[in-house]
Amino acid sequence: MPHPLSVPLPLPLLMILTLTLTLTLGSGSGAPRMKVRVKLRASYYRRTCPGAERIVAEAVTAKQIANPSTAAGALRVFFHDCFAGGCDASLLISPDSGPGSGSSAAAERDAEINRSLPGDAFDAVARAKAALEQACPGAVSCADVLALAARHLVSMLGGPFYPLRLGRRDALFSPAPSSAHVAPDLPRTNMTAPQLIALFASKGFTVQEMVALAGAHTVGFSHCKEFAGRIYNFENRGPNAFDPALNPRFAQGLQRACASYLKDPTISTFNDVMTPGKFDNLYFQNLPRGLGLLASDAALFVDTRTRPFVERYAANQTAFFEDFALAMEKLSAYGVKTGRDGEVRRRCDAFNDHP
C-alpha cells in the first residue's frame, strides 16, 4: 500500500493544542484551488465526549485482536480517504446507502481503486462509532473516528503515537467512482518515482514526507494482480521472466504463491515478508535487497531524490518513526471540513437525513 511543503512542520508547532491551518485544496484534475481556514484542537471533545479516544481505542483494539489484518487495513482506508478530497469520511459511505446529501447510487468507496479495501477496517470504524453513539450521541464525527482508529492501530503494531487535532466534520457527499476526486488523486502501484513525487507535491507534501508515508507498507498485504507484471512475462521475455530488480528467490516464491491469481483474484502476499505484522523499518531495509513487492516500492530506491531517505530510514528506525509521525499528523489535517461544510453522521456508512 502505498503512501510535503518544502520544509516539514517544526515539532513545536505540531505539539500545540490549538492550530489554525491554511490548507490549499485541489485535485489531480486541475480543479480550482481554494483556501479554507480550519481550526482543530486536541481537546475538541473535552466537554461533549471526554472519553472519545478511550472508546475508539477499546473498540478497535478488540477488532484488531480478533482480526489481525485490521490495523493495516485501517491505515490504508485512512490514507485513501484523506488523499482523495480530504479527511472527511467520504470513503466510508456505502454505495446505495439511501437518502442523503450525496449520491445514493454510487460512492467513492465503489471506485475500482477502493474496491480491494478490507472490510475489517470499515467494520472497526463502525464498531467504534456505535460505541460512541451509545456514550455521547451525535458528538464525534466519523472522520475523527477514522483518524483516531488509524493512530491507535499503528501504535498497537509497534509504530509511533503521534499528535492528533480533532473537530473534523463528515462530508456531505461522496464522489461517484468516475469523479476526478478519486482515482487520479491516489497513487498507483505501478507509478514511477517522478509520478509519485509529482502527485504528492500537488497536495503539498515533500519528497521526504512521501517516502516516510510509504513506510506504511511495512504492514499489510497486496493482491497479486498489483504486481503480476513484475513476476510473470516481464517485458514480454517469457512466462516466467521476472523483474531483474527483484531478488530471484523472492520472485520465484511470489510466482508460486500467485500461480492461481487469475482464477482467484483475492490471493495476496505480505508487503513486508520479513515482519509483516510489525510496524518497523524493515520495509526500507528490504528495498535494496530486491524485496520490495510493488513497482512503486522498488522505484523509491532507484530515484536519486528518494533513495537518500530510504537509506536513512533503513539505518535508523527512530528517524523513520519521527518523520512518519510528522507526516501522518500533517496528512490528518489535509482537506478537513468544519462547521457548515460538513456534518456529524449518526452512521459512518450513510448520510444523515436532511429536510
Catalytic residues: 80
Give the separation between CA 23 and CA 178, rounded to whole angstroms: 25
Residue reference for cell 504492514:
219
Grid coordinates representing 131? 460505541
Q: Binding site annotation covers 86?
A: yes
Q: Binding site annotation covers 81?
A: yes
CB count in 10 Å sphere of residue 10? 9
Q: Binding site annotation covers 88?
A: yes
Q: Binding site annotation covers 90?
A: yes
φ/ψ of 173, rounded to 5, equals -150, 160
Q: Binding site annotation covers 192?
A: no
3-state secondary structure of 200: helix
Using an 8 Å Cβ cutoff, are 99 and 351 in contact? yes
Grid coordinates representing 258? 500467485
Q: Binding site annotation covers 243?
A: no
Give the separation between CA 4 and CA 209, rounded to whole angstroms: 5
Q: Binding site annotation covers 108?
A: yes
Strand partners, 148: none
Give the separation between CA 21 and CA 39, rounded to whole angstroms: 7
Q: What is the per-residue burial (b if ≥16 Cβ within 10 Å, else e) of 70-95?
A: bbbbbbbbbbbbbbbbbbbbbbbbbb
Q: Binding site annotation covers 280?
A: yes
In the annotated binding site for heme b, the residues are 217
In the annotated binding site, the residues are 81, 86, 88, 90, 108, 187, 217-218, 272, 275, 280
In the annotated binding site for substrate, the residues are 187
In the annotated binding site for Ca(2+), the residues are 81, 86, 88, 90, 108, 218, 272, 275, 280
